Amino acid sequence: MTFGRTLRTAALITAVATLTSGAALAQKKYDTGATDTEIKIGNIMPYSGPASAYGVIGKTEEAYFKMINDKGGINGRKIVYVTYDDGYSPPKAVEQVRKLVESDEVLAVFNPLGTPSNTAIQKYLNAKKIPQLFVATGATKWNDPKNFPWTIGWQPSYQSEAQIYAKWLLKERPDAKVAILYQNDDFGKDYLKGTKDGFGAKASSTIIMEESYEVSEPSIDGHIVKIKAANPDVLLIYTTPKFGAQTIKKTAELGWKPLQIITNVSASVGSVMKPAGFEASQDVLSAAYAKDGADPRWNDDADMKKWVEFLDKYMPGADKTDSSVVYGYGAAQTLVKALEQCGDDLTRANLMKQAASLKDFAPDTLLPGVKINTGPNDFAPISQLQMQKFKGEKWEPFGDIMNGDIAPE
């Protein structure tokens, strides 16, 4: 009895004290990994193995957080960035992520790279209710808040991109006869689905041919010849870089000049357009969402100047033509934005909520007009792209920023 009363009194006093001591104090809430002085963020990257070229992304992010810390951190808290090598191996990814969560006790896992690695850790992180923030893969399945409320994407999904091509074609070339060359795996099929969704009811009448190839094929010349025989006037090239170069080269050799659109993945000047030959590559179309660090057009761009300044100070010697440096900067900036929005409520639930309530946020490295928008039912942060045309030795953006929002499945 007495004890019960004491307890009630104590509770009342605490409640009054909390109410009167000001809102700021009452709001300070932390989950594992966040304190008054620091926020611990985990990451896995392929620093070794077949995809080690992407390791630059992790290094850029580390440098970016160092810059943020030097500037005083986020609401006075420093970011502690723990990044491990998973060698692009799913079992290793699981091991390293469990280490991050159970041993390093991070608040969230940020920008883990690769579709297989992310698939491997998704179930674990969602079961533990740990945010899997801004994953570095273009697969469409990350936008699935209903089944995986703790996983959110970042870059435009392959399906969004394909929808944009379809929309553009519907508007500019309504009578086009379209042939699609795609890689026979999830990557290519994502594009195929996006294109069909984009054409909607007109899909069956517009697409006259769907030709797939296996990634193990040494050359896809035979497929190009076959497609040419069907005589389409638009060729959608949903391939990885090596095959992209082969396609552009072969169509030129055949003296065939359809309107060609190549995926953003294969829109690299160095590894696709140049090997295919600049002459053959003229007027090829693609779409982009980020600025090209090597493009002199951005020399006077205030935002890109910040990026260059950052590189000079925190990553001296970094290769400015490497799109991974642009990518890592943009992703890290998005995380900082979400953390800032959290204020003093650094719980995992709130971080996830803030990551899913970004409004018109424009990281420095995205094309002007491309904005990040998320919501409780929209876990696809970037879904806008701009069409671009290959002219001379570089890409030239044209037209409006286009939306490719995909409804979650």
Partner 1 sequence: MSAAEEVVAEGNEPVEAVPKRAMTLGTGTSVVVLLLLLAVPLFAKNFVIFQLTQLLYLGLAVLALNILTGGSGQFSLGQSAFYGIGAYVTAVMMEQFNIPYFLCLPVAGVVCFGAGFLFGQPALRLSGVYLALATFALATAMPQLLKLNFLEPWTGGVQGLVVTKPDAPFGLKMSQDMWLYYFTLVVVIAIYVFSVNLLRSRSGRAFMAIRDNEIAASAMGVNVALYKTLAFGVSAGITGVAGGLSAIAVQFVAPDSFTITLAIQLFLGMVVGGVGWLPGSIVGAAFIIFVPNIAEGISKGLSGAVFGVLLFLVIYLVPHGARQVAILGQQLAGRLRRN
**Is residue 67 part of the contact set for partner 1 (CB under 8 A)?**
no
**Distance in Å, CB of 59 to partner 1, minimum:** 9
Task: Closer to partner 1 by CB, 122 or 386: give it.
Answer: 122
Residue 137 interacts with partner 1 (CB under 8 A)? no
Residue 23 three-state SS: helix
> Nearest distance from residue 63's CB to partner 1, in Å?
13
| Token representation of residue 104 | 């390093």
Q: Which stretch binds partner 1 (CB under 8 A): 79-87, 201-209, 373-381, 385-393?
A: 79-87
Distance in angstroms (rounded) separating the CA atoms of residues 102 and 150: 17
Residues whose CB falls within 8 Å of the CB of residue 341, separated by 6 or more in sequence, listed in order? 354, 357, 358
Which residue is listed with tokens 């979400």?
338
Taking contact as CB under 8 A, which single stretch among the options 95-103, 308-316, 383-391, 400-408 is the one that binds partner 1? 95-103
Stretch of 89-97, 150-158, 219-227, 324-332 lying at the interface with partner 1 (CB under 8 A): 89-97
87 counts as binding partner 1 under rule CB under 8 A: yes
Q: How far is the CB of 123 from partner 1 (least distance, A)?
A: 5
Which is closer to partner 1, CB of 50 or CB of 255?
A: 50
> Should residue 314 be labelled a site residue for partner 1 when binding is judged by CB under 8 A?
no
Minimum CB separation from partner 1 for residue 83, in Å? Answer: 8
Phi, psi of 408, deg, nearest 5? -60, 145
By beta-carbon proximity to partner 1, the closer residue of 5 and 146 is: 146
Q: How many C-beta neighbours within 10 Å does residue 381 have? A: 26
Question: Interface with partner 1 includes 241 (CB under 8 A)?
Answer: no
Q: Does the protein bind partner 1 through residue 90 (CB under 8 A)?
A: yes
Spatial contact of 44 and 83, defined as CB atoms under 8 Å apart: yes
DSSP letter at 82? E
Taking CB under 8 A as the criterion, the residue among 119, 282, 357, 373 binding partner 1 is 119
> Applying CB under 8 A, which of residues 69, 115, 357, 373 lies at the interface with partner 1?
115
Helix 158-172 and helix 186-199: axis angle, to 10°? 40
Note whether 123 binds partner 1 by CB under 8 A.
yes
* 155 binds partner 1 per the rule CB under 8 A: no
Q: 365 and 332 in contact (C-beta within 8 Å)?
A: no
Closer to partner 1 by Cβ: residue 116 or 277? 116
**Residues 393, 390: Cα–Cα separation, whole Å:** 7
Among 35, 69, 95, 202, binds partner 1 (CB under 8 A): 95
Q: What is the torsion angle, in degrees rounded to the nearest 10, for the CA atoms of residue 102, residue 103, residue 107 and residue 108? A: -70
Residues 195-224 that bind partner 1 (CB under 8 A): 216
Indicate whether 103 belongs to the interface with partner 1 (CB under 8 A): yes
**Residue 319 binds to partner 1 (criterion: CB under 8 A):** no
Surface-to-core class of residue 37, CB atoms within 10 Å of its CB (0-12 exposed, 13-18 middle, 19+ buried): exposed
- The answer to whether 2 contacts partner 1 (rule: CB under 8 A) is no
Task: Tell me if 124 contacts partner 1 by CB under 8 A.
Answer: yes
Residue 85 C-beta: closest distance to partner 1, Å: 6
Site for partner 1 (CB under 8 A): which residue of 30, 66, 67, 98?
98
Query: Using the rule CB under 8 A, is 102 a contact of partner 1?
Result: yes
Q: Return the number of the residue (214 or 360) whose C-beta is nearest partner 1.
A: 214
Closest Cα to residue 166, out of 155, 180, 183, 153?
A: 180
Q: Are 177 and 189 in contact (CB under 8 A)?
A: no
Please report, for residues 86, 116, 160, the alpha-carbon distance to residue 112 in angstroms, rounded to integers and kept in the order given.
Answer: 10, 10, 21
Residue in 404, 381, 328, 376 with CA at minimum distance from that of residue 153: 381
Q: How far apart are CA 40 and CA 100, in angstroms?
A: 10
Tell me if 49 contacts partner 1 by CB under 8 A: yes
Structure tokens at 361: 């946020």
Give least dist CB 61 to partner 1, A: 13
| Count of other CB atoms within 10 angstroms of residue 325 | 23
Answer for which of 38, 67, 94, 301 binds partner 1 (CB under 8 A) is: 94
Q: Which residues pair with 36 in a beta bridge?
A: none
Number of residues counted as binding partner 1 (CB under 8 A): 30
Asked whether position 48 contacts partner 1 by CB under 8 A, the answer is yes
Helices (H) and strands (E) in the chain — how many of each? 15, 13
Task: Catalog residues that contact partner 1 under the rule CB under 8 A.
Answer: 47-49, 83-85, 87-91, 94-95, 98-99, 101-103, 115-116, 119-120, 122-124, 184-187, 216
